[in-house]
Amino acid sequence: MTPDERREVQEAVAAGRRALASLEEAADALGSASNWGLFDLVMGGPLTSVLKHWSLNDARGALDQARADLYAFTRELSDVRGIEALRVDVGAIASALDVLVDNPFVDLYVQKKISDAEDNVDAAIAATKTVLARLEAAR
């Protein structure tokens, strides 16, 4: 491996580690939103809905950072795919309805969106770990 190739691998590893850290932060935030969502379904009210949506906003911010870090990772690595699927897209209408209407049907819809986002983040974490392992083995 040439020094330039080694440097490229090191840059890719650094970018991958940043992406992984961002994804894990997003997974934690989604977990918190999911917990609030379950509580909202069982015992919730307007305050629980607001707390759930604060957690969702934290998750959106973490996912934005993860997406940026994954784009940087893909610039370093052309074989990492599927990044566009990383989104928490509950939508402003669903968020507003959940707080204002606060009924089990809207809560279930939002909970499903959170669950879908958790699945996407988990898949991205697994893919990032796999690519990082190959990169670190190549060093």
Extents of the domains making up the chain: 3-138
What is the reported pLDDT for 111?
83
- Percent share of the chain, pLDDT over 70: 78
Angle between helices 3-43 and 46-76 (to 10 degrees): 170
Which one, of 72, 43, 69, 38, lies nearest residue 55 by Cα?
Answer: 38
> Counting every residue, how long is the chain?
139
pLDDT digits (tens, 9 = 90+) for 59-80: 888 888 888 888 888 877 764 4
End-to-end Cα, the chain, rounded Å = 9
User: What mean pLDDT value characterizes the chain?
Assistant: 76
For residue 8, pLDDT beyond 80: no
Do 117 and 88 contact (CB within 8 A), yes or no? yes
For residue 25, pLDDT beyond 60: yes
What is the reported pLDDT for 18?
94
pLDDT digits (tens, 9 = 90+) for 116-138: 888 888 888 888 888 888 888 87
For 86, list phi and psi in degrees, rounded to 5: -80, 100
